[in-house]
Amino acid sequence: MTFSLQDKELSLRALEPSDLHWLYAVENETALWQVSDTLTPFSSALLARYIENAQRDIYSEKQLRLVIQLPTEPIGLIDLFEFSPKHHRAMVGIVVLPDYRQKGYAKRALTLLAAYAKNGLDCHQLAASITADNTESRRLFESVGFKLSGVRSDWVFRNTNYEDEYFYQMML
């Protein structure tokens, strides 16, 4: 049962109350809403309650949100959701802030999360849903071992168009 939620410089950590203003900025960045199905802004009060409840057990909540942290600052979020201990699987979502993309941080965070899911949560597989046009995310997930296993045609409605959603899986 070996896993670590950190490497030489990057760590995955729980949300803290001190993250409220940072989380507020991230969650209310409208450019990110298209990948999260968010339709309305989040209030500080709602996010404060979310942070307070985020400390609950993944086995009861079926989800876990971790901050992707460099030594001096948070740079993104990575989530396990639809966690199923019965079926030994979970979905994964990740967002890295624009200034920190294309530097290998997302790949390292996904690698750490996969080791935790396998060795800490006894997951057999992880999965991700990614729109067909999000080639950057598709390349990221493929680079850590996710395989395309299906396509949901016209699954996502964005602007005035329907888009395909690709379903990726990684056996751990």
List pLDDT tens digits, range 125-139. Answer: 999 999 999 999 999
Question: What is the number of domains present in the chain?
Answer: 1
pTM, entire model? 0.90
Closest CA to 19 of 63, 46, 55, 51: 51
**CATH number of the domain that 104 lies in?**
3.40.630.30
Angle at the Cα of 127 from the Cα atoms of 125 and 133, rounded to 5 degrees: 155
pLDDT of residue 1: 57
For residue 4, tell me if it sits in a domain: no
Q: Which pLDDT value is given to residue 90?
A: 98
| Across 155-159, average pLDDT | 89
In a domain, 1, yes or no: no
Please write the tens of the pLDDT for every residue from 74-116: 999 999 999 999 999 999 999 999 999 999 999 999 999 999 9
In a domain, 19, yes or no: yes
In-domain check, residue 3: no
27-48 in b/e burial notation, b at 16+ Cβ within 10 A?
Answer: bbeeeeeebeeeeeeeeeeebe
Number of residues written out for the chain: 172
Say if 49 falls within a structural domain: yes
Q: What is the pLDDT of residue 167?
A: 98
SS3 145: coil
Residue scoring higher pLDDT (104 or 49): 104
Helix/strand/coil (H, E, C) string of 11-39? EEEECCHHHHHHHHHHHCCHHHHHHHCCC
pLDDT of residue 33: 67
